[in-house]
Amino acid sequence: KAATMPARKKAQPAASGIEVSHGDRIIDASTGVTKLDVVRYYEQVAPLMMEHLQDRPTSLMRTPDGVAGEHFFQKHWQVRAMAGIVQLPQSLDPEHPPLLAIAGAKGLAQAAQFNVVEFHTWNAKRDKILRPDRMTFDLDPGEGVAWSAVREAAELVRVLLLELGLEPFLKTSGGKGLHLVVPIQRRHDWDTVKGFSKAIVQHLAATVPQRFVAKSGPQNRKGKIFVDYLRNGWGATTVSAWSVRARPGTGVSVPIAWSELDQVSGGAHWGIQSVQTRFSKGNSPWKGYAKAAVSMGPAMQRLGYSA
Ligand code: ATP
Ligand code: MN
Ligand code: MN
């Protein structure tokens, strides 16, 4: 009887030494991308992606049944210790179980072995958790908005931010839209940063109402673009640069230079199978990011915003 038992498939070793179980399993029927493809992708992209993940509380989106299956968004994970995935001190968020962070390349591959496809990060780092170091403006096009209008909208948001003395950096979302990331000095608290980001979006919606809405909800944004400032609150996250998306097509969120926007065809311009062509550019489209952080104070004054 025992002889008829099928041989157990051996786990496939990945470059990082992680043993990948069910590596052949297709996670996205539309592309044929497998779990092993995802692990290998994260191993390759780790040096670029760690710059975006380092020291940030990170939520993990797992899709054990592939991108068409159920999505689990995990802020906490106490199941077991995993190489390269750390639990942050509980004092950072005392009411909840410890937050997670990816500590290095091995953590990325290890997470992918546990069916994590997406990595989402906070706008603050662990050493100063009460003071965000960036604002995120997430451009969410409503139904019927052409991509050319999303591009133009991004340029408009940029002009306003530059006018305020803030410098936005751009990435594709890997999904439908674009994300503008504004580095700021770590002086203001969450309420102030979120409040100011909301004021910026309300100003946009009031100035260019034919294009922008400041209210979320699909009803409000038909034919318009919701500039989502809700990513700027305590505990809110945005998908990290270089993360794969757990959606059909397996898009990737990629940092781009403003001068490249014209050549980008959509939020999912790059996917896990085409993004290798971007590795040589790496994070260079965000050159100057670290030096671009200014205090929000003068910008708040210019907009007439008081916390
Ligand atoms: P797209 O360009 O298609 O909008 P996106 O990543 O911007 O892609 P959004 O729905 O706009 O998708 O969400 C923005 C971010 O907000 C996500 O990347 C995620 O980090 C966070 N988010 C959104 N919905 C949830 C949710 N239900 N639970 C946890 N985080 C969420
Ligand atoms: Mn979005
Ligand atoms: Mn959004």
pLDDT tens digits, 198-217: 999 999 999 999 999 999 88
Residue 123 burial (C-beta neighbours within 10 Å; 0-12, 13-18, 19+): buried
- Centre of ligand 3 to C-alpha 172, Å, is 13
Amino acid at the residue 274: S
> Is pLDDT at 232 greater than 90 in this prediction?
yes
**Pairwise CA distance, residues 131 & 164, whole Å:** 20
272 secondary structure, DSSP code: T
Per-residue confidence band for 83, with pLDDT thresholds at 50, 70 and 90: confident
C-alpha 237 – ligand 1 centre gap (Å): 8
Q: What is the CB < 6 Å shell around ligand 1?
A: 73, 120, 138, 140, 173, 175-177, 228, 231, 237-239, 267
* Angular region, 182: left φ>0, alpha ψ -120 to 50, beta rest: beta
Please write the tens of the pLDDT for every residue from 16-67.
788 999 999 999 999 999 999 999 999 999 999 999 999 999 999 999 999 9
How far does the centroid of ligand 3 lie from the alpha carbon of residue 224, in Å? 13
Which is nearest to 129 in space by CA: 85, 67, 76, 186? 186
Residues 244, 28 contacting (CB under 8 angstroms): no
118-161 tens-digit pLDDT: 999 999 999 999 999 999 999 999 999 999 999 999 999 999 99
- How big, in percent rounded to 5, are the helix, strand and coil portions of the chain? 30, 20, 45
pLDDT of 292 strictly over 90: yes
Q: Sign of torsion, CA 18 22 24 29?
A: negative
Ligand 1 center to 72 CA (angstroms):
13
What would the two tokens of residue 103 be? 């500590």
Q: Which pLDDT value is given to residue 24?
A: 96
Q: How, if at all, do strands 178-183 and 212-213 pair?
A: unpaired
Q: What is the mean pLDDT of residues 225-243?
A: 98
Say which residue the tokens 């940030």 belong to: 56
Position with higher pLDDT, 246 vs 9: 246
267 CA: nearest ligand 1 atom: 2
The SS3 call for residue 192 is helix
d(CA 137, CA 135) in angstroms, rounded, equals 7
Picking from 105, 121, 102, 101, the residue whose alpha carbon sits closest to that of residue 46 is 105
276's tokens: 């290798």
Contact 252, 242 (CB under 8 A): yes
pTM: 0.95
Which of 140, 134, 258, 130 minimizes the C-alpha distance to 196? 134
* pLDDT above 50 (res 1): no
Closest-lying ligand 1 atom to the alpha carbon of residue 179 = 7
Residue located nearest, by CA, to atom 17 of ligand 1: 238
Taking the CA of residue 245 as reference, the ligand 1 atom at the shortest distance is: 6
Question: Which atom from ligand 1 is nearest to the alpha carbon of 172?
Answer: 2
The preferred substitution site among 231, 234, 270 for testing ligand 1, maximizing ligand atoms within 8 Å of CB, is: 231
Ligand 1 atom closest to the CA of 175, numbered from 1 = 3
Which listed ligand is nearest to 173 at the C-alpha?
1
Q: State the distance from the centre of ligand 3 to the C-alpha of 272, rounded, in angstroms.
A: 22
d(CA 11, CA 303): 57
pLDDT at position 82 is 77
- Backbone φ, ψ for residue 35 (5° rounding): -60, -40
**Ligand nearest to the CA of residue 73, numbered in listed order:** 1
The ligand whose atoms approach the alpha carbon of 238 most closely is 1
Under 8 Å between Cβ of 254 and 275: yes
Name the residue of 147, 238, 264 to mutate for ligand 1: max ligand atoms within 8 A of Cβ: 238
Average pLDDT over residues 266-287: 98
Which amino acid is located at 101 in the chain? Answer: A
Q: Is the pLDDT of residue 80 over 90?
A: no
